[in-house]
Amino acid sequence: MIDSQGLDAKLWVLGEAYYSIDCDYLLPAHLQYPNYAQRPQEDFLKPYFELYLAGRQIAFERGEVVVFTR
């Protein structure tokens, strides 16, 4: 649920635009994190985004997180 009324549809469209940048569902989740009403105080997606900015990509395989260069 988004924090401000009336923004749900607009932010959903924006989320689709963020996703289309790199076909990555975690990217729009991080970029829209401040808009969510019920969220942990600390941005748990920040480490992922820092890896993304450094040109790394992650994959989840057999219970492990694999980090590799794009």
The reply to whether 50 falls in a domain is: yes
Number of domains observed in the structure of the chain: 1
The label of the residue with tokens 């980090």 reads: 67
The reply to whether 37 falls in a domain is: yes
Q: What digits encode the pLDDT tens for the residues 1-21?
A: 455 556 667 777 788 888 888
pTM score: 0.66
The reply to whether 2 falls in a domain is: no
The reply to whether 61 falls in a domain is: yes
Q: Which helix (H) or strand (E) holds 17?
A: helix 8-22
Range of the domain at 34: 8-69
Q: What digits encode the pLDDT tens for the residues 13-61?
A: 788 888 888 888 888 888 888 777 787 888 888 998 999 999 999 888 9
Name residue 2's beta-bridge partners. Answer: 36
**Would residue 54 be called left, alpha or beta, if left means φ above 0 and alpha means ψ between -120 and 50 degrees?**
alpha
